[in-house]
Structure 1
Amino acid sequence: MRLFYSSGSPYARMVRVALRETNLLPRVTEVEATLRDPASAILPVNPVGRVPTLLLPDGTALTETVLILDFLDTLGAAHRLLPAEGAARWRAMAALGRAIGMMDGVAVWNRELRRPEHERSPGVIAQEITRTNRVADVLEAEAGRLGDTPDAPGIALLCLLGYAERRHRTWPWRDGRPGLAAWYDAMAARPSFAATLPPLSGL
């Protein structure tokens, strides 16, 4: 299998961390791909050009983070990323969906800030700031219940906050959220997280 990724993508980082946490990395070749590049190595595999993309041996290309994380659980790793069934699975899926949804908002906010100032939408930026802080406040209230197991929801939240630390520093997410910050700092010490550190951005 081959995983196409970009080092700055938090969505791809979620899969890269999961591969390391489940000890599945030896079964996957990681391929760093350029984005928005007509010569990108990812385009023959995934014409959409998005990362992460996991290419299976039969040629199937899985292109959504949640789908890939769910697929990894079918490979027989000792450590599951999501419960197999029942209410626990749906609770985990809900937590994962919330983290991914929050990341989507941060990504829109970040993309707006990368536009020339006269092309930015203040309304879009304000909406995503409000949404992001609303979810972060809920997570702070729940910080005592956030686990220390690197399951799919935990990995997604960790990579989201890690993105804010290095790629979206305009958002002071730690302010007023000591519980969430303490959880992040403890989890960020994991080798899987250190091995997938994204480059610093100017934002």
Structure 2
Amino acid sequence: MKLYANPTSPFVRIVRMALIEKGLNEAVDTTFVDAWADDPAFLDANPAGRVPTLVTDDGARLTEALLILSHLDATGTKPAVLAGGPAALSAAGVAIGVFDAAVAVIIGRKSAPDFDTGLVGRKRYRTMQEGLRRLDAAFDGSQGFDLPAIAAITALDYLVFRFPDHDWRGLCPTVAAFRDAHGDRPSVRDTVPRG
């Protein structure tokens, strides 16, 4: 399998964390790309030019993080990342909504330097703040390490990375403590956003 990735994308990170947790990391050739550079090989794999993109051993091109996670659950031998029922998927959805809003701000800034203070930018910040509060209310620190945990850690780390002037950890102390308790876990440690 080949994974087209970017070291800062939270969508890529949830896939990379799942690969490590499921023991599939060594079975995947990860190629880091600049999604804005229009690399021909990457665009051949995904004409939308979005990461993550997974090309399976039989040539199928999976282009969305949750579709890739579903495939990994079907491929891997460890417990399913997407397990846990509606409550777990709901918590994961809140966390994914948080980092989706953050990515929207980063992309919005590319075309409008004042994006953060406009209507859409303010709504995205509200989504990030309220999402972290709700996520924290759903966490009790005893979670397994499945998609809600992976997505929550990813959301918090991404906000701290992209918006360091805000006290994101203060909005979600339970999630922050959970993240800190798992900071040395290879899937967390080896996928921290950099760049």
TM-score by length of 2: 0.89
Letter in 2 for 1:100: I
CA-based RMSD of the aligned residues comes to: 2.1
Structure 1 counterpart of 2:124: 128
Q: Which residue is equivalent to 1:91?
A: 87
Q: CA deviation at 1:72?
A: 0.6
Q: Which of 154, 158, 175 is the equivalent residue of 2:149? A: 154
| Map of 2:18 onto structure 1 | 18
The one of 96, 108, 115 equivalent to 1:112 is 108
Identity of aligned residues (%): 32
Identify which range, 5-14 or 160-169, moves more after superposition.
Answer: 160-169
Post-superposition Cα deviations, 1:19-60, rounded to whole Å, max 9, x if no partner, equal 011101122111111211133531111111110001012221
Q: How does 1:73-92 map to 2 (within 5 A)?
A: 73-83=73-83, 88-92=84-88
Are 1:4 and 2:4 matched, yes or no? Answer: yes
Pairwise CA distance, 1:112: 3.2
Is 1:69–1:152's contact at 8 Å kept on the other side of the alignment? no
Question: Match of 1:44, SS?
Answer: helix
Q: Unpaired segments of 5 or more residues in structure 1?
A: none
Rate the CA distance shift 1:163–1:176 in 2: closer, same or farther, 3 A: closer
Check whether the contact 2:98–2:128 (CA below 8 A) recurs between aligned residues.
Answer: yes
Question: How many residue pairs get matched?
Answer: 195
TM-score by length of 1: 0.86
The unaligned stretches of length 5 or more in structure 2 are none
Counterpart residue identity of residue 43, structure 1: L
